Amino acid sequence: MSHTFDAVRDPSGNAVRDAIITCERCPRLRTYCAGIAETRRRAYQDHVYWGRPVPGFGDPKARILIVGLAPGAHGANRTGRPFTGDGSGAFMYPVLHDLGLATQPTATHRHDGLKLRHAWIASVVRCAPPGDKPLPEELRNCATHFAAEAASLTRLRVVVALGKIAWDGHLAYLLGRGIITRRSDYKFTHGAEYLLPNGLHLLGTYHPSLRNTNTGRLNRVMFTRIFVRARALAGLD
């Protein structure tokens, strides 16, 4: 059976989404993602890969913004939706579901019925990078997409950064907006929590990648505590 996927809706309408999915600013990333989409992993040979930059996903009235690193090569690059069809999502969505932030604990494909409540998921890079390591210029190129989505989420109270690259990417956004003056004032650790000058709360957690969850660096209890705190700070309890 072949799987095809349509475009994600974003909180501000088609313009932000279209700017993301048609972006060609990073030739290295576009070549890499298109190549993966063409060759495909053996387990997904009957799937039509998304193979394009991946827009954010969630509740337009979100109070919690979850910031990831980038699409997985055979996850969101295949499905077109963040943390869908990969191990990181398989770890994260059950936690979000348990806490009432997701309507179901699984995320397998774009039409699986999953919806988020009070949360929006975006990434600081919208194309899967080789080795999960975007180059500095690729982060800069993608920053306008993150800024456009973030600016459209007018009810935000909390930002949860998944890993240090996402943390640093969000700090770069805050710096660019003039919300903070120095990144060095906000140090990433698992469980880091800061009240930002604009009144939002910034929380940090290790990324729910398989390299972290399989080694025990991040477990479900640790991850759940972050989102319990995020719910409380967002006024959802």
- Residue 4: inside a domain: no
- Residue 9: inside a domain: no
Phi, psi of 205 (to 5 degrees): -145, 155
Q: Could you list the residue range(s) of the whole structural domain that residue 110 is in? A: 14-233
**How does residue 6 score in pLDDT terms, banded at 50, 70 and 90?**
very low
- Residue 107: inside a domain: yes
Residue 196 has pLDDT above 90, yes or no: yes
pLDDT, residue 237, reads 83
- Residue 115: inside a domain: yes
Domain count within the chain:
1
Residue 76 has pLDDT above 70, yes or no: yes
Residue 67 has pLDDT above 60, yes or no: yes
Average pLDDT on 43-48 reads 82
- 111-164, pLDDT tens digit by residue? 999 999 999 999 999 999 999 899 999 999 999 999 999 999 999 999 999 999
- Residue 61: inside a domain: yes
- Residue 184: inside a domain: yes
pLDDT, residue 13, reads 55
pLDDT, residue 42, reads 78
- In this structure, the strands spanning 119-123 and 193-195 are unpaired
- Residue 171: inside a domain: yes
Per the prediction, the chain carries an average pLDDT of: 92
> pTM for the full model?
0.92
pLDDT, residue 12, reads 45
Q: What CATH number is attached to the domain comprising 19?
A: 3.40.470.10
Percentage of the chain modeled with pLDDT above 90: 87
pLDDT, residue 50, reads 95
Buried-exposed string 192-211: b where 16+ CB fall within 10 A, e elsewhere: eebeeeeebbbbbbbbbbee
- Residue 65: inside a domain: yes
SS (H, E, C) the chain: CCECCCCCCCCCCHHHHHHHHCCCCCHHHHHHHHHHHHHCCHHHCCECCCCCCCCCEECCCCCEEEEECCCCCCCHHHHCCCCCCCHHHHHHHHHHHHCCCECCCCCCCCCCCCCECCEEEEECCCCCCHHHCCCHHHHHHHHHHHHHHHHHCCCCCEEEEECHHHHHHHHHHHHHCCCCCCHHHCCCCCCCEEECCCCCEEEEECCCCHHHHCCCCCCHHHHHHHHHHHHHHCCCC
Average pLDDT on 193-207 reads 98
Percentage of the chain modeled with pLDDT above 70: 95
